[in-house]
């Protein structure tokens, strides 16, 4: 199972919005709505920020939103804040009942 494809890096100024795209196949993103997104700060464990394409866990800011179209999922961070600077990973359930992560996107807040 090849990793899902994400841009290596994105940046934005405080207050701006950015969107991270995650490209998969008909065997993962295109097949199920079990797409999730994780935020990871350096030296820390990943944190779930979006599950099942567009749902936010309790306590996660509503500045994070997710969607999916075909084989591509996306995460939008609105009103970018300094603490949003981190690595972001998408993830999808797959046809073989396993999971696959994206390659990761480093978000820099300018």
Partner 1 sequence: EVHLMESGGGLVQPGGSLRLSCSVSGFVFSDFGMSWVRQAPGKGLEYISTISGSDGSTYIADSLKGRFTISRDNSKNTVYLEMTSLRADDTGVYYCAKQRYFRNGAFDFWGQGTAVTVSS
- By CB under 8 A, name the binding residues for partner 1: 1, 3, 34, 36, 38, 40, 45-48, 51-52, 57, 87, 89, 91, 93, 96-104
In angstroms, the CA 88 to CA 104 distance is 5
Closest distance between partner 1 and the C-beta of residue 36, in Å? 4
Closest distance between partner 1 and the C-beta of residue 87, in Å? 8
In angstroms, the CA 38 to CA 108 distance is 16
Closest distance between partner 1 and the C-beta of residue 93, in Å? 6
Closest distance between partner 1 and the C-beta of residue 74, in Å? 16
In angstroms, the CA 89 to CA 40 distance is 8
- For partner 1, give the closer residue by CB, 16 or 108: 108
In angstroms, the CA 15 to CA 63 distance is 11
Q: How many Å is the Cα radius of gyration of the chain?
A: 13
- For partner 1, give the closer residue by CB, 71 or 87: 87
- For partner 1, give the closer residue by CB, 71 or 103: 103
What three-state secondary structure class fits 42?
coil
- For partner 1, give the closer residue by CB, 13 or 43: 43
HSE, side-chain direction, 13 A CA sphere, residue 40: 16
């Amino acid at each position: 199972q090849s990793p899902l494809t994400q841009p290596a890096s994105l940046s934005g100024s405080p207050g701006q919005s950015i969107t991270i795209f995650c490209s998969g196949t008909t065997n993962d993103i295109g097949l199920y709505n079990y797409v999730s997104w994780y935020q990871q700060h350096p030296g820390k464990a990943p944190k779930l920020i979006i599950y099942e394409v567009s749902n936010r866990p309790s306590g996660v800011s509503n500045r994070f939103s997710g969607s999916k179209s075909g084989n591509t999922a996306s995460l939008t961070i609105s009103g970018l804040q300094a603490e949003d600077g981190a690595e972001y990973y998408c993830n999808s359930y797959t046809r073989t009942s396993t999971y696959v992560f994206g390659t990761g996107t480093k978000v820099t807040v300018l």
